[in-house]
Amino acid sequence: MKKNKLNGSENFNNYYSSIYGIRWEVLKESFKLKPDYFEINKGMLAPYYIDKASLFPVKALDIFPGQNVLDMCAAPGGKTLLIALANGESGTITANDRSASRRKRLISVLDASLPLNLRKTVKITGHDASLWGVYEKNIYDRILLDAPCSSERHVYLSEPHLKLWSPSRIKQLASRQFAMLAAALDAVKPLGKIVYSTCAISREENDGIIEKLIKKRENLFKIESIVIDSVFDSEPGLKIEAEKTEFGYYILPDKNNGAGPIFFSVIVKI
């Protein structure tokens, strides 16, 4: 007897239920919560609101004034704002996004929010991030790779996207994510830091990417552990419950009043 083919919603639920077990129903429902937003306003021309969880990949970069920083997939620009505020007017930032429409949004956000002394430190580019290491090697003090990902929260809340969902999309994204991370490792200076982050909740796009990098380039970097208190409890109103994974951290909305999901891992080039 021919089996009925599962639709996208059934595939989606079966896939993530196999990962999260009984937690999946609670986690899935938390996607419906209003994200827990944080207002970035200090030193800004206009405030910008960002999901609280998204602050922590930037905090984990440990940026200090005067550095040369690459934001590989920068749009819509919230994390670039945070980098600019930490890096100061003596630093330089390359904010990259391959999509012309997303770059337009990025420019709009930066122009509206950053004072001139900080805005002039940011250069906008539109390169293929997976090829970055071919052209620039050992250049950057810090690299943020907030990689394009499955964005399951968005998929779950969008019926058209949910209908089309397939596990094959994860494989396609993971291949590109790894290529970008390998390029970042080439582009960062020795002893420089990369933070790899996504808003995905599958291992293939998170710990799986780091695991692959270890297999391919195990002697070129190390994974840095975070002192939880210093990163996650550093400011009033920013307390977050982070979950340690094999190579990084999850911030998931079912445990954080709707903030997230975010995965990030800190990589230091040797």
Residue 114, token pair as written in the block: 């950053």
Rg (CA), the chain: 18
204 and 152 in contact (C-beta within 8 Å)?
Answer: no
* Cβ neighbour number for residue 106 with a 10 Å cutoff: 24
Q: Which of 223, 222, 227 is nearest to 242 (CA)?
A: 227
Which residues are bridge partners to 49 per DSSP? 39
Q: Which of 149, 199, 201, 266 is catalytic?
A: 199
73: annotated active-site residue: no
Interatomic CA distance for residues 65 and 68, integer angstroms: 9
For the chain, report the end-to-end CA distance as a whole number of angstroms.
Answer: 57
Q: Which of 182, 194, 243, 186 is nearest to 20 (CA)?
A: 243
94 and 148 in contact (C-beta within 8 Å)?
Answer: no
DSSP state of 2: P
- 3-class secondary-structure state, position 106: helix
> How many CA atoms lie less than 13 Å away from 142 in the CB half-sphere?
27
Residues belonging to the active site: 199
